[in-house]
Structure 1
């Protein structure tokens, strides 16, 4: 039987199993707490698993191996900054002749930790580490923990796991550089390296499991991101936009919790379709991740941190800061990607995020100083919310600025 057929069959069986588990989980979901944050009842082991699952995704698993193929060991830095896990290491290193065999057959730069570029490494930490700190999908997983102690222990464990996975992914890609030297990454892209390793190096069946694992990594991250996006869209964006037209929308159906869950599922479905359409046009998973995180950090970081640490900051300033930072970052990304601004790095250029952050900070400070201070009752409600002592609905000015 053809080995590729067996591998594909394993992936199909995995997907069918996931659909079955999803249907089973649907019957156990009774309210928004169950649907969005697992009822806030996860213990140390399950919490560690769910936190580790939401971080490693397509960029970590497939993209990380591709970076290792292109840059060597320094390709780990993107994945170290955002996380990933150990998967193919034993099989691929054997095929490449071990570390000594690899070292003898590649340039010395492939074993240099800064081979990808010091500035690029710094930018990875600015974009991805800070991006994770403010990401709605990550915070939503944090709230699944039963206690703060579980959250701290699980977060530390998942973080160590992610760092180790970053190193492993780079080593796998580096080994593939030796074992499969003829992959045309210029024509096909770096993302094909993972599939080539699973297809041509791993034993029949094991390759299918590895492909299914890549799908699992993508699905676990995508599910968290979609639920987070649906939460923000339904609970924050829609009421905020409606307020421009003098309308008030209450998104919490306390009388019928199951109806509330159903509405959230529709939002997840709609945004999922949009995400699929976008992903079909994306040729490189790391490019897609770079664009997304650049916009996230360039637009939201200053507003979120400003709301947490600067009492003089205002909601209007946060809104303008987010708008200016996001638009400028996106405009510069387009300019670099299309060659309007000449650069060998293209969309990977470091400048867009720094200009976006700088503009966002300047606008936040200036507009805050030019607008009236936040009303005392709004400030008090915000301080209580940050301290975890408030459950009532906040004014739209606060609620729209920091949904999590």
Structure 2
């Protein structure tokens, strides 16, 4: 890379740091810090939600899959898009009716304190692991761009994300996400995709030079597509970072329309990035590590000056998801664990201090894990496997089945977590079976225990039933 491109990326880093400082002035209450005051209009909401969905796995991971399998590599992001659309169509109205900060706070109101604590720990681990994937992605891109050591790159990128997230919370994340959404949209759709196709010789050249399997929507394998459904489609429905963004919308209409359009945007993004990976297979057939396909293709095809913008867009996508999931994890721990059990009756100022300290600690753990794991897709698989298996069934039945009991929710989460972790340990991190076993176990335990235990509806459950009768 030439100095101009590196300068553009450095300027971008300085801009997001500056936005973090501005955001710190707006985050005066815990609701400002965690939910941007529940006051985002349509464009801000749509851009922020799209930015948090599409991060390291969506960009770097899908390019890698496109390089290895062709157009079917899009299924990873397709399932994210389908999951977010399903959330908007079927769950959003019920979610928005509760004035809560976290997914586990809802489960606590529905099923009691034990379920709240357990779900908070599970969901925070999921959010932390997704943040880990983004820091790995940032390090990978900077490693290819600047030739720096991968660990050094992750420390720098992760440190910048942590800095502006600590300062302003959701206000900083929101303002940086809008910048990042614009940059990544221009970089991927209007620069990287057309230039990659041109460099590869056009769509005709792809047809001639790539194997037929690269144009099959099932080339990656039916079992892998099903695994992505279990991991990402179901995971989107019960992800704290997504719920937290929904709570930032000014109105339910804004939340619903923005969520559906963000899902459609995700589908288009997944297709575009998988095609870039296919082009990279032709242009760079001997690439040593396919995880570097996007950054290497950008260096190969994009002219000086524009290259800095494109790669800033990739880093933007990574940073937006990293900051959103980092904040989600820290909100879960601070709101549902620390302030509930250790710092009770905290004032607004004390709550802000707790939130910032928790964000700092979670961010440090995230960077350490990123340096340790160093594989985007492995970290993401583990995160979504535990979340989908443990939390999806209690959330689903908590919304739609009146007879679900507190004991059933708690035991279903415990049993599914044990089954999933045991299955991953025995069959390997890439196996689909542990997720299916975990979800099936969760259903069986949830229904079975609910049928043999007495249900004591909470005030919230009664309110849910009343709203159901009214609607």
TM-score band by shorter chain is: 0.7 to 0.9
Residue aligned with 2:419, SS: helix
* Cα drift, residue 159 of structure 1: 1.3
Superposed, 1:354-373 pairs within 5 Å as 354-373=436-455
- Distance (whole Å) between structure 2 residues aligned to residue 249 and residue 372 of structure 1: 33
The residue aligned with 1:353 is 435
Residue from 314, 321, 325 that aligns with 2:416: 325
2:292 to 173, 192, 197: 192
CA distance in 1, matches of 2:293, 2:346: 46
Q: 1:58 to 1:335 in 2, by over 3 A?
A: same
- CA drift of 1:251 comes to 5.8
| Residue aligning to 1:205 | 305
Secondary structure of the residue that 2:273 maps to in structure 1?
helix
1:383-398 paired onto structure 2 within 5 Å: 383-384=462-463
State the TM-score, normalized to the length of structure 1. 0.84
- Gap change, CA 1:305 and 1:36, over 3 Å in 2: same
- For the aligned residue pairs, the C-alpha RMSD in angstroms reads 2.1
Structure 2: distance between partners of 1:234 and 1:383: 28
Deviations along 1:4-36, whole A, 9 cap, x unmatched?
544333322211211111011101111112111
Aligned match of 1:168: 272
- The residue that corresponds to 1:14 in the other structure is 12
What residue is the counterpart of 2:127 in the other structure? none
Report which stretch shifted further, 6-15 or 311-320.
Answer: 6-15
Select between 111-120 and 68-77 the one with higher mean Cα deviation: 111-120
* Equivalent residues in 2 for 1:5-404, closer than 5 Å: 5-83=3-81, 86-87=188-189, 88-184=192-288, 188=289, 190-238=290-338, 242=341, 249-250=343-344, 253=347, 257-337=348-428, 347-373=429-455, 375-376=456-457, 378=458, 380-384=459-463
State the structure with more CA Rg: 1
CA 1:97/1:273 → structure 2, altered by over 3 Å: closer, same or farther?
same
In structure 2, distance between residues paired with 1:360 and 1:239: 29
1:296 deviation in Å?
A: 0.4
Structure 1, unaligned stretches of length 5 or more?
A: 243-247, 338-346, 390-404
Q: Which segments of 5 or more consecutive residues in structure 2 lack a partner in the other structure?
A: 82-183
Bigger helix share: 2
Relative contact order, higher structure (CA 8 A, sep 6+) = 2
Distance 1:191 1:6 in 2: 25
Following TM superposition, by how much is the alpha carbon of 1:183 offset from its aligned partner in structure 2, in angstroms? 0.4
Distance 1:55 1:348, change over 3 A: same
Please identify, of 226-235 and 58-67, the stretch whose mean Cα deviation from structure 2 is larger: 226-235
Question: Per-residue CA shift, 1:331-390, capped at 9, x if unaligned?
Answer: 2122222xxxxxxxxx322111101111122222233334332x24x2x3234269889x
Quick one: structure 1 residues 321 and 239, their matched pair in 2 at CA, closer, same or farther if it must change by over 3 Å?
farther
Label 1:94 to 1:316 Cα distance change in 2 as closer, same or farther (>3 A). same
CA 1:230–1:384 in 2, change beyond 3 Å: closer, same or farther? farther
State whether residues 234 and 251 of structure 1, in contact with CA within 8 Å, keep that contact through their aligned partners in structure 2: no
Q: Distance in 2 between matches of 1:388 and 1:213?
A: 43
- 2:339/2:351 contact within 8 Å kept: no
The aligned counterpart of 1:341 is none
TM-score with structure 2 setting the length: 0.73
